[in-house]
């Protein structure tokens, strides 16, 4: 499998999209609304191959009318969906998982070209999408309420009912994964969906929407709206059918989304950024910890919300760990995403690349020492946004490199003296998405897990993730939970039902039957 650098992957994308969406002309691409692919009516958006810097495809923003059509379709389809038995919904959701599995290799390629991610990583992420539908298929007929032992003669029970239609807005760093992560629990709970992927990476979500429809979901249950945030996503939030907004993206945009939802008095879930601490104690298995430190920050070229971007290392082993991590980092294979042996790919877009450069430069200016890596484009023939995996030593936790989300392959290594200082540095951040500790002391592992303020915490591991486990942030990393049972409950509203069972009505003070 090769991709011509001249056409920036255009030929390959055309071939994959035409096959996966059963179309003959790439210009038919647009939003997937009410079971149909609709070319957009708004502004033209160009898609750039991160590895070459060239445009490989263009499409049009959906436009207000299409968003409205999708909302109407989702409302109607949701009623049909909820009318089906729970077992039938489960069977159809399982078929959705199978449909994704059947096309997983093609989907992984599409993702690799559009997101600029190594093909090996994309295969894993697409397989996880199938797993999400299979997991939530099993929940469809198990989402039960409770019978409450109230002290009156009532039989009182709860029902978890769907919200109706939900709007989901997702980022560019893991588009297929995020799409499955949010659509699967939403439809399991009985909702219709309007999903707006990042304008930079709309292809895999659109194909997944199409595959779910082909697998038997009612037309209009899942709509993929392609376009910009300030146009298409804002219009989706404004639709009267939207009962909740689930946002995955940056804290800055998350704040705007929560305000837009609040203006309509609808709730929101925010899955935002992070500045996670990966903590190595001197009693750790250092071979494993050194590998873990690299996986934590360099997979996805650091473009992951849970990146272990702050490496906290106990002072007695600091120099040794810095030297070992730097030596191993300098050997990582930085390359074209579609090559099988690439470990680190490019930054996904020019704006993000500039952001990485600016924060890295500020760190160097503030006194951090670059042990390996570099500032600026990696030279070597490609025109894409390649940033060398970089390790900074001598970082102080107050520096911008240690406080701002870089979202690139830049590791800041910070020393600490003891457990107390490690916890204090780990928690000295506005974020609270994830964290990890590497130690041979089981008691210390539990103490750290209890005291680091983060929604996910790993011990002697990093980045393990599964749809069964709830995921979400503390602090500026957001609120609400995705995945697992908690993620499912986010897509419901709970009703209490009271049924009088007494043979004779209880006395109602002052009231009579006439």
Q: Using CB under 6 A, list all residues that contact ligand NAD.
A: 169-173, 196, 198-199, 228-230, 233-234, 248-250, 253, 256-257, 271-274, 305, 405, 407, 433, 473, 478
What is the rounded CA–CA span in Å between residue 391 and residue 258? 35
Q: Select 114 or 173, whichever has its Cβ closest to ligand NAD.
A: 173
What's the rounded Cα separation, in Å, for the pair 467 and 483?
Answer: 5
Please give the backbone phi and psi of residue 81, each rounded to the nearest 5 degrees, phi first.
-65, -45
Cβ proximity to ligand NAD: between 135 and 407 the closer is 407
Of the two residues 11 and 351, which places its CB atom closer to ligand NAD in the complex? 351
Instruction: Between 261 and 370, name the residue whose CB sits nearer to ligand NAD.
Output: 261
Q: Helix, strand or coil for residue 310?
A: strand
Give the residue among 382, 378, 357, 360 at the shortest CA–CA distance from 369: 360
Burial profile 6-23: b = 16 or more Cβ within 10 angstroms, e = fewer: eebbbebbbebbeebbee
Rg (CA), the chain: 24
- Compute the least distance from the CB of residue 220 to ligand NAD, in Å: 21
Closer residue to ligand NAD (CB): 189 or 433: 433
CA dist 210 to 95, 203, 226, 468, 506, Å?
Answer: 13, 11, 13, 25, 56
CB of 160 to ligand NAD, least distance (A): 23
Give 310's strand partners: 277, 412
- Shortest Å, Cβ 210 to ligand NAD: 19
Q: How far is the CB of 250 from ligand NAD (least distance, A)?
A: 3
How many CA atoms, within 13 angstroms, populate the side-chain half-sphere of residue 149? 0
CA distance 470 to 481: 6
**CA neighbor of 89 nearest in space, from 218, 220, 219:** 218
DSSP result, 86-128: HHHHHHHHHHHHHHHHHTHHHHHHHHHHHH---HHHHHHHHHH
Shortest separation between residue 117's beta carbon and ligand NAD, angstroms: 13
Give the H/E segment covering residue 179.
helix 175-188
> How far is Cα 317 from Cα 315, in angstroms, rounded to an integer?
5
Least Å distance, CB 249 to ligand NAD, is 3
CA distance 490 to 196: 19
Burial (CB count <10 Å: 0-12, 13-18, 19+), residue 259? exposed
How far, in Å, CA of 47 to CA of 43, rounded? 13
Q: Shortest approach of ligand NAD to residue 49 CB, angstroms?
A: 17
CB of 337 to ligand NAD, least distance (A): 18
Q: What 3-state DSSP class applies to 169? A: strand
Cα-based angle 428, 429, 430 (whole degrees, multiple of 5): 135
Residue nearest to ligand NAD (CB): 229
Nearest to 458 by CA among 284, 338, 330: 284
Q: Which of 50, 128, 101 is nearest to 463 (CA)?
A: 128
420/364 Cα distance (integer angstroms): 28
Task: Please give the positions annotated as active site.
Answer: 271, 305
Nearest approach in angstroms of CB 304 to ligand NAD is 7
Question: Residue 224 or residue 391: which is nearer to ligand NAD going by CB?
Answer: 224
Cα 268 to Cα 304: distance, rounded to the nearest angstrom: 22
Helix (H, G, I), strand (E, B) or coil at 458: strand
């Amino acid at each position: 499998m090769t991709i011509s650098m001249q056409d920036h992957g255009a030929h390959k994308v055309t071939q994959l999209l035409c096959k996966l969406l059963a179309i003959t002309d790439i210009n038919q691409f647009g939003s997937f609304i009410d079971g149909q692919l609709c070319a957009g009516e708004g502004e033209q958006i160009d898609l750039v191959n991160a590895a070459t810097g060239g445009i490989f495809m263009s499409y049009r923003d959906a436009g207000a009318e299409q968003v409205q059509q999708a909302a109407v379709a989702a409302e109607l389809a949701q009623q049909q969906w909820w009318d089906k038995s729970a077992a039938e919904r489960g069977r159809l959701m399982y078929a959705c998982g199978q449909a994704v599995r059947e096309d997983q290799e093609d989907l992984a390629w599409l993702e690799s070209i559009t997101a600029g991610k190594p093909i090996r990583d994309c295969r894993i992420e697409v397989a996880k999408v199938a797993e999400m539908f299979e997991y939530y298929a099993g929940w469809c007929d198990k989402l039960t309420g409770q019978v409450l032992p109230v002290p009156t003669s009532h039989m009182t029970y709860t029902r978890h009912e769907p919200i109706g239609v939900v709007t989901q807005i997702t980022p560019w760093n893991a588009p297929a994964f995020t799409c499955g992560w949010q659509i699967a629990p939403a439809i399991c709970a009985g909702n219709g969906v309007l999903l707006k992927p990042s304008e930079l990476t709309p292809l895999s979500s659109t194909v997944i929407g199409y595959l779910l429809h082909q697998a038997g979901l009612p037309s209009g249950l899942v709509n993929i709206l392609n376009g910009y945030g300030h146009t298409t996503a804002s219009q989706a939030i404004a639709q009267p059918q939207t009962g909740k907004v689930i946002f995955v993206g940056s804290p800055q945009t998350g704040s705007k989304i929560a305000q837009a939802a609040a203006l309509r008095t609808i709730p929101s879930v925010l899955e935002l950024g992070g500045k996670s601490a990966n903590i190595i104690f001197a009693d750790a298995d250092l071979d494993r910890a050194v590998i873990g430190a690299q996986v934590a920050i360099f997979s996805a070229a650091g473009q992951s919300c849970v990146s272990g971007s702050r490496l906290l290392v106990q002072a007695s082993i600091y120099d040794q760990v810095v030297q070992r991590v730097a030596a191993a980092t300098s050997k990582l294979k930085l390359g074209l995403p579609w090559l099988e042996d690439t470990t680190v790919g490019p930054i996904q877009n020019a704006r993000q690349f500039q952001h990485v450069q600016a924060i890295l430069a500020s760190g160097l200016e503030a006194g951090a020492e670059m042990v390996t890596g570099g500032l600026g484009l990696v030279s070597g023939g490609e025109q894409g946004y390649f940033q060398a995996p970089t390790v900074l030593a001598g970082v102080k936790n107050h520096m911008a490199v240690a406080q701002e989300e870089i979202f690139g392959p830049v590791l800041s290594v910070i020393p600490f003296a003891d457990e107390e200082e490690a916890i204090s540095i780990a928690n000295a951040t506005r974020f609270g998405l994830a964290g990890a500790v590497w130690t041979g002391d089981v008691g210390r592992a539990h103490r750290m897990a209890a005291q680091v303020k983060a929604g996910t915490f790993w011990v002697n591991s990093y980045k393990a993730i599964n749809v069964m486990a709830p995921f979400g942030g503390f602090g500026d990393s957001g609120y609400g939970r995705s995945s697992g049972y908690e993620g499912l409950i986010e897509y419901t509203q709970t009703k209490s039902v009271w049924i009088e069972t007494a043979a004779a009505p209880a006395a109602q003070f002052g009231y009579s039957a006439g």
